[in-house]
């Protein structure tokens, strides 16, 4: 088992990294399809090297959700059109929520869908529509140092994953033994676990949750102040021009002196 | 049972690591300001998965609570980031992060885009051919832009 894993895990990561590199925005268009194939093959190799979840149905569900999550994430990197990239990130979020559900943390799954996919992503899409939604801008079609970035990411994952796999094989010296299954069934996996989560959240962590509320309020005020400032600092209209600010679809030409004004 | 739990922990940590790495790579590579922030959120997702897995393994609600705080902080970050991006977009008319590269350190050379071939222009809108009758209809400009086919 062990020599097989030594080949499967780093090999899969390397294949996946090459696939992602071939998909990136700077690459020519004809490289994309083989890139996707390579990335999927690499993910399959890594999946074959992992221990799996025991029960075949749960394992299959887990790997499907993983595929959705990682494909969505790779699509966020690869799509030229920023709108497609944001939608692909939404797909990745749905996969993450599914993984959280599968693990038994229902509240977090729902929170991910509602807060991330429902609120944050829609706001991002709204702002994306202001700019260049069809991916024709130059900056959406070139990457910034793609080879080096992918290499670093691949090295990070290629060192992490075999370490984690070896930890899974011999957990004795590395992990504290888990609590007995009965305790877990009455704790994190209990049918009433959201109630327990709420008790914990508003009991032990009451001060922290108040702090988070203050932080949200401060962010709200800060965002309003920032946007308002940007509006009042527009230069006064010159004589002969209508006294209205340019609409979002007609960007002003860049002016170097704007930084200081 | 214990082995199954260890296997679940390892699988979730691997997915979390992959998400973090993809997000980091995307943050460096993409030049669109908004997509850079989306990639940062992707890294947070990977960390959330890992935290939830640890919380399940040790039967501790601390992991889930930390994920809730991550979600709250990510919401704050998104609000501030969008406000900043809007202000930057108004100043430069572009979401390109390289539009702000004059803020780099003094001794660094500027990043110059390599020449890339122009994207082929979209085909003109295919209007149906009708015999001319009445006055010429005035088509709004955005319809000619956003509806390539009828």
pLDDT in tens, A28-62: 878 888 999 999 999 888 888 887 777 888 889 99
The C-alpha R_g of chain A, in whole angstroms, comes to: 24
- Above 70 in pLDDT, residue A254? no
Confidence band, pLDDT 50/70/90 cuts, at residue A154:
very high
Residue A54 is assigned to a structural domain of this protein: no
Confidence band, pLDDT 50/70/90 cuts, at residue A242:
low
Please tell me the distance from the alpha carbon of residue B44 to that of residue B81, in angstroms, as a whole number: 15
- Above 90 in pLDDT, residue A94? yes
Residue A219, domain extent: 191-230
Q: How many CB atoms lie within 10 A of CB A119?
A: 13
Which residues 164-203 on chain A approach chain B with CB closer than 8 angstroms?
A: 164-165, 167-168, 171, 175-179, 181, 183-184, 187-189, 196-197, 200-201
Residue A204 is assigned to a structural domain of this protein: yes
Structure tokens at B81: 């980031």
Residue A218 is assigned to a structural domain of this protein: yes
Residue range A126-146: mean pLDDT, rounded: 75
Residue A223 is assigned to a structural domain of this protein: yes
Confidence band, pLDDT 50/70/90 cuts, at residue A133:
low
| 3-state SS, residue B32 | strand
Encode pLDDT of B103-134 as tens digits: 888 888 888 877 666 666 777 778 788 777 78
Structure tokens at A125: 């899409």
Binary contact (A103, B83; C-beta < 8 A)? no
| 3-state SS, residue B115 | coil
Residue A94 is assigned to a structural domain of this protein: no
- Above 60 in pLDDT, residue A233? no
Minimum mean pLDDT among A33-37, A65-69, A183-187: which range?
A183-187
Q: How close A229 comes to chain B (CA, Å)?
A: 8
Residue A207 is assigned to a structural domain of this protein: yes
Q: How close B133 comes to chain A (CA, Å)?
A: 34
| 3-state SS, residue A164 | helix
**What pTM did the predictor assign?**
0.81
Show the low-confidence residues of chain B (pLDDT under 70): 1-2, 115-120, 146-150
Q: How close B149 comes to chain A (CA, Å)?
A: 16
Residue A184 is assigned to a structural domain of this protein: no
Confidence band, pLDDT 50/70/90 cuts, at residue A256:
very low
Helix B33-57 / helix B2-29 crossing angle, nearest 10 deg: 170
Please tell me the distance from the alpha carbon of residue A79 to that of residue A216, in angstroms, as a whole number: 32
Residue A195 is assigned to a structural domain of this protein: yes
Residue range A184-201: mean pLDDT, rounded: 86
Domain count, chain A: 1
């Amino acid at each position: 088992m062990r020599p097989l894993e030594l080949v499967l895990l780093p090999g899969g990561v390397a294949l996946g990294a090459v696939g992602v590199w071939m998909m990136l925005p700077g690459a020519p268009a004809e490289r994309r399809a083989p890139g996707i194939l390579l990335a999927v093959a690499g993910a399959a190799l890594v999946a074959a090297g992992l221990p799996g979840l025991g029960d075949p149905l749960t394992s299959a569900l887990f790997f499907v959700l993983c595929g959705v999550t990682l494909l969505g994430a790779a699509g966020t990197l690869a799509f030229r059109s920023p709108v497609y990239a944001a939608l692909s990130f939404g797909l990745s979020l749905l996969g993450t929520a599914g993984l959280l559900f599968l693990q038994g943390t229902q509240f977090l799954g729902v929170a991910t869908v509602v807060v991330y996919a429902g609120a944050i992503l829609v706001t991002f899409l709204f702002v994306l529509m202001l700019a260049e939604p069809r991916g024709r801008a130059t900056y959406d079609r070139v990457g910034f140092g793609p080879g080096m970035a992918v290499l670093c990411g691949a090295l990070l994952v290629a060192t992490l994953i075999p370490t984690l796999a070896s930890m899974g094989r011999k957990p004795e010296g590395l992990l504290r033994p888990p609590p007995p299954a009965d305790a877990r069934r009455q704790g994190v996996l209990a049918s009433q676990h959201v109630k327990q989560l709420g008790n914990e959240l508003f009991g032990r962590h009451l001060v922290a949750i108040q702090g988070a509320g203050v932080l949200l309020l401060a962010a709200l005020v800060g965002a309003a102040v920032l946007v308002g400032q940007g509006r009042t600092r527009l230069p006064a209209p010159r004589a002969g021009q209508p006294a209205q600010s340019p609409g979002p679809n007609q960007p002003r030409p860049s002016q170097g002196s704007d930084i200081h004004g | 049972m214990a082995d199954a739990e260890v296997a679940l922990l390892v699988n979730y940590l691997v997915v979390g690591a992959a998400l973090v790495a993809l997000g980091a790579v995307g943050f460096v590579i993409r030049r669109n300001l908004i997509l850079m922030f989306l990639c940062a959120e992707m890294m947070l997702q990977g960390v959330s998965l890992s935290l939830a897995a640890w919380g399940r393994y040790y039967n501790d609600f601390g992991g889930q609570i930390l994920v809730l705080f991550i979600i709250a902080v990510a919401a704050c970050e998104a609000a501030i980031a969008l406000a900043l991006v809007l202000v930057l977009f108004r100043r430069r008319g572009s979401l390109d992060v390289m539009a702000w590269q004059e803020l780099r350190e003094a001794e660094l050379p500027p990043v110059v885009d390599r020449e890339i071939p122009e994207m082929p222009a979209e085909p003109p809108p295919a209007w149906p051919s009708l015999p001319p009758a009445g006055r010429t209809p005035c088509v709004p400009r955005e319809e000619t832009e956003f509806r390539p086919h009828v």
